[in-house]
């Protein structure tokens, strides 16, 4: 079956929202390190959808961050506040996944759930245009 660019964009948007939903479920159970991971990846998938929509391809985390900044933040299509949030979510995810003795709590990570959802809405709105 041949898939189109629109199919890929739609798939990545769905994956972003599914991953956000998983983060919320994990939050309800108090798994804050896992929430940090899922929030970052939800946003990562949204940015991948935006990049696919604009025929840009990279799969490294650094490459995604660079392309988001160069093509959407610096151009003013996306406010710099979202770039700062994306970086913070990336940092939280790295700390939760790779650092020893890190035990995030609701006060540290729960505050990012609504922000991540807004980020995904902003990014996916552009990807749908």
Percent of the chain surpassing pLDDT 90: 95
| Region 115-119 average pLDDT | 98
As a whole number of angstroms, the distance between CA 29 and CA 113 comes to 14
Q: Is a pLDDT exceeding 90 seen at residue 84?
A: yes
Instruction: Give Cα 66 to chain centroid, integer Å.
Output: 14
Domains (ranges, CATH) in the chain? Answer: 5-128 (1.20.120.330)
Mean pLDDT for 94-116 is 97
- pTM (2 decimals)? 0.95
Alpha carbon distance 61, 110 (integer Å): 23
CA gap 4, 89 in Å, rounded: 30
State how far the Cα of 113 lies from the Cα of 1, in Å rounded to an integer: 36
Counting residues of the chain whose pLDDT is more than 70, the rounded percentage is 100
């Amino acid at each position: 079956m041949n898939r189109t660019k629109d199919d890929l964009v739609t798939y990545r948007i769905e994956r972003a929202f599914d991953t956000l939903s998983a983060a919320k479920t994990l939050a309800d159970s108090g798994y804050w390190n896992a929430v940090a991971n899922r929030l970052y990846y939800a946003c990562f998938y949204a940015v991948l959808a935006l990049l696919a929509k604009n025929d840009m391809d990279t799969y490294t985390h650094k490459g995604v961050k660079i392309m988001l900044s160069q093509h959407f933040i610096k151009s003013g299509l996306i406010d710099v506040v979202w770039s700062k949030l994306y970086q913070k979510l990336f940092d939280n995810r790295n700390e939760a996944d790779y650092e020893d003795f890190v035990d995030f709590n609701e006060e540290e990570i729960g505050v990012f759930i609504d922000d991540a959802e807004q980020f995904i809405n902003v990014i996916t709105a552009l990807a749908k245009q």
